[in-house]
Every structure is written in C-alpha cells, then in structure tokens.
Amino acid sequence: MHLERSRTLLQEALEVIPGGVNSPVRAFRAVGGTPPFIERGQGAYLYDVDGNRYLDCIGSWGPLIFGHAHPRVLAAIRDQLEHGTTFGAPTVLEVRLAQEIVEAVPSIEKVRLVSSGTEATMSAIRVARGFTGRNRIVKFEGNYHGHADFLLAKAGSGVATLGLPECAGVPPNVTADTLTLPYNDTKAVRELFAAEGDTIACVILEPVVGNMGCVPPQPGFLETLREVTARHGSVLIFDEVMTGFRLAYGGAQERFGVTPDMTALGKILGGGLPLGAYGGRAEIMDTVAPAGPVYQAGTLSGNPVAVTAGRTLLGLLRENRATVYARLESMGRQIAEGLYAAAAQAGVPVTVNQVGSMVTVFFTEHGPVTDYASARTSSTAQFARWFHAMLEQGIYWPPSQFEAAFLSAVMTDADVEHLLAAAHTAFARCAEERATS
Ligand code: KE4
C-alpha cells in the first residue's frame, strides 16, 4: 500500500492547519503513520488520493448508515440546490423534519435544529440549567459530548485518544459545576443523588457509549438514572448524536425502553451534511428563545440543504425499517464473534463489545470493559499494530482504541468475509510482535 501523495499532502496541510487536520482524531496520532487523504466515497468504500480502496468501518464517524454518495440522497440534494442553499428564514422543510423527529424519538415533543452535535449538547444543557434554575451537571468518564468548555472533563473520543489529562484553555471555574462519575456505576449515582440530587440541573450520558470504544449500559443503569433524576427534578439528557437512528429508528431510548427528558441528535440526522438537534418535553423546550428566556441561535440552523439530506436518509431508514436494523444487528454480531474467534485463534487476548452496528475490539486481558477505567487497561500499542495491519489489507477501522467502528447497511457478506479474513492476518501479526517483544 503506497501513500506518497497523502504524505505530500500531509506536509502541505501541516503548514496551514493545526496538526494537518480539521478534527484531531483524523490525524492518526494514536496509531502513528500517515492518514490517507480521501478523494471520494462510494457505497461501503473509500478511495484515497493514491488509488487505495478501503472498506469504510467509520462512515464519517457515524452519519453514513447507508454508505457514501447514496443516489437518493445525492438526487435530493441536487434538487434542493436549484432553489438556493440558505435563507436565514423559516422554511417548510425544517417543519417537516421537526415533525419527523417528534414522530421518531420518544422523548421529543419539540425540537430545535442546530449545525453540530456539540451545539446540540451544549444547548440542551443550557436549557436544562435554565429550566431547573440549577447549575451543576453530571457526566460520565469516557463519555464525549462535543467540545463545549464545561463538557471537557474526563471526556472520551479525541480527548481520550490523545491521552489529554484535561483540556488546556478551559478555566477551572468553567468545569467546577461539572461532576463526573464512572459509567455504569449505579451505586455512585444513587449516592450522589441521595446527598445532593436537588442541586443537579441535569445528567447527560451516551446511552450506549461510543467515545471510549463501544460500552453498553449495564442492566438497570439507565433505569436508575431515570428514577433518581425524576425524583429530584433533574433533567435526564440522552446524547444520541451517535446512537440516534442507528441503534433503532427511535435510538437507544427506543431500544432500551428508557425515555429521557431531552435528547441530543446529530450525525445520521444530517445525512452526511452538518446538522444537529436537541429536543424534549414541550414544557422544557418552551424555555428556548424566542418562546422563553434561554437564548440559542444559529445562522445556518435548519439549513435547507442539510435538512433535505437528513430527511432523505431518515426516509430510507423508515422505508427499510423492518429489515435494515435486523441486518445491522446480525452483521454486527457476526463481526464481533468473528473478531473474537480470530483473536483467540492467534492467542491475542481481547474483549469485543458490540451493540447493533457499533463494535470495538479492546486489546485487554482484563475484560469485561464496562467503563473508562477498564477500557484504559487496553494496550494502545497492540491496537495500533492491529489497526495498521487492517489498513494495509484495505480495512479502514477507527484510528483509536477509544472509538467505535460503525457498520453500514450497504456492506455485503463478501465485505464481512474480507474484514474477518483481514482480522485473522492482523491478529497473527500482533501475536508475532508479542512473541518477539
Ligand atoms: P460534533 O460536534 O462532532 O458534530 O458532535 C459531537 C459529539 C457529541 N456527542 C457524541 C456522542 C459524539 O460522538 C460526538 C462526536 N463524535 C466524534 C467521534 N467520536 C466525532 C469525530 C470527531 O471528533 O472528529
């Protein structure tokens, strides 16, 4: 596999863009090597500037559940472009998308569209603070909710990937009201709320974590959060930017049968274009300006082109609802079981976590991985070796131990076989390195 043109482009990029990338995890700092510069995507595949083809197991970090350049999505975008790209004024399109979100997501009675997942979570928390009149928020170690200052405490994703102790530039007073608990620690949640529940504005979490690698909620965890927040008048926020429309059409809250007070959305919602949303009970959302006193705004919020892309992708999911989630589930399970078997055959100890079409291989012999502490027992060096062995065989896996892979509905059985065959070779190479190191 040659990457000459990517190497050249990376040098140019480093001259004018911090780290050469517009989002840290893309830089391959956690795994080393040169990130391929991508020229185009088509279906389940990416093609880089050196002519290499990859099976895409990232899908732009979640949005592309039906793969790249889906013809229905492209056609809808082209049609909308003929009418213009943005108006900064109300349109029927955003009303229709809002109606579709209300219909799809159990917790959402009213919704505000924004342009990213960060905006969605940041705004949801401001609304929860405004609605309750309280300041303190609870998040969980290894959960990432975007890069709003007050959320960069023990975050996951790029913060975990880069091993940043905390984030420079965030004044201590800004995170002073951010309490962080271990994920899945029901006892710690109960103790905190018994002692101080009436001071907590909200709890925000990834109902299935993707940002420390895939970590599902233990039985009773979501139900406990629902119980204690209701009892103490705190707002329960599910950050479903990653899980929304992926783990079920109604997201993790539909899959697990636990309805939060508010939900943040992104990724799939935008159909591959910049779009996020936050919503919840009408009495909470009616505090948002201009209906109420909590201010939030955005020049391109509800952008008609992004809304059109998102509505088209949601339409594809609705049309295929009976089959697409079952397909993603069975493919996810087949890949998880196949990865585990391949690692066992090579004698490489791993823990594989999988929920629906989210999968992570943790290179640890100290499983199960149920929280950030157990996730961090993984060998990032072993993961890096495995990652590059997969990449050299044409499998584009997330370049971090602390991220989840995302499967797409356009992957074929042959793609799955290719992935698992590559994994066998990659684990064998890890075993050789272990033996000689
Ligand atoms: P954005 O601002 O990147 O659209 O969304 C932030 C966000 C919020 N909540 C969850 C659960 C998320 O996963 C994200 C963003 N996820 C990362 C991947 N782990 C995006 C990739 C990146 O940062 O480049």
pLDDT confidence bin for 434, thresholds 50/70/90:
confident
CA distances from residue 241 to 37, 119, 267 in whole angstroms, order as listed: 25, 11, 6
Residue 54 annotated as catalytic = no
The alpha carbon of 429 and the centre of ligand 1 are apart by a number of angstroms equal to 31
Q: Cis before residue 90, ω within 30 degrees of 0?
A: no
Atom of ligand 1 nearest to the CA of 403: 19
Spatial separation of the C-alpha atoms in residues 309 and 73, rounded to whole Å: 6
pLDDT confidence bin for 81, thresholds 50/70/90:
very high
pLDDT digits (tens, 9 = 90+) for 18-38: 999 999 999 999 999 999 999
Strands 358-362 and 351-355: antiparallel
The alpha carbon of 101 and the centre of ligand 1 are apart by a number of angstroms equal to 20
Ligand 1, atom 15: closest residue by C-alpha: 146
pLDDT confidence bin for 321, thresholds 50/70/90:
very high
Please say whether the structural domain 71-319 has been given the CATH code 3.30.450.20.
Answer: no
Topology of domain 4-69+322-436, CATH: Aspartate Aminotransferase, domain 1 (3.90.1150)
pLDDT digits (tens, 9 = 90+) for 332-381: 999 999 999 999 999 999 999 999 999 999 999 998 999 999 999 999 99
What are the two backbone dihedrals, phi and then psi, of residue 139, each rounded to the nearest 5 degrees? Answer: -125, 180
Spatial separation of the C-alpha atoms in residues 27 and 8, rounded to whole Å: 14
Domain ranges of the chain: 4-69+322-436, 71-319
In the chain, the amino acid numbered 271 is G
pLDDT of residue 163: 62
pLDDT digits (tens, 9 = 90+) for 113-171: 999 999 999 999 999 999 999 999 999 999 999 999 999 877 777 777 776 657 899 98
H/E run at residue 182: none
Neighbours of 288 (CB within 10 A): 22
Please report how many Cα atoms fall inside a 13 Å half-sphere around the Cα of residue 11, on the Cβ side: 5
The beta strands (E) that lie in 43-188 are given as: 45-48, 53-56, 110-114, 136-140, 178-181
Spatial separation of the C-alpha atoms in residues 288 and 131, rounded to whole Å: 9
pLDDT exceeds 80 at position 173: yes
Ligand 1, atom 21: closest residue by C-alpha: 61
Residue 239 annotated as catalytic = yes
- What's the predicted TM-score (pTM) here? 0.97
pLDDT digits (tens, 9 = 90+) for 368-381: 999 999 999 999 99
* Mutate which of 151, 157, 243 for ligand 1 pocket (most atoms within 8 A of beta carbon): 157
- Structure tokens, 54: 């990859």
Ligand 1, atom 9: closest residue by C-alpha: 145
- The pocket around ligand 1, CB under 6 angstroms, is made up of 23, 25, 61, 116-118, 121, 144-146, 157-158, 206, 210-211, 239, 241-242, 266, 403
pLDDT exceeds 90 at position 437: no
Q: Which of 183, 267, 371, 396 is catalytic?
A: 267
pLDDT confidence bin for 71, thresholds 50/70/90:
very high
Neighbours of 11 (CB within 10 A): 11
| Closest C-alpha among 402, 379, 378, 381 to residue 157 | 402
Cβ contact 402:362 at 8 Å: no
Atom of ligand 1 nearest to the CA of 211: 19
Spatial separation of the C-alpha atoms in residues 348 and 190, rounded to whole Å: 38
pLDDT of residue 165: 57
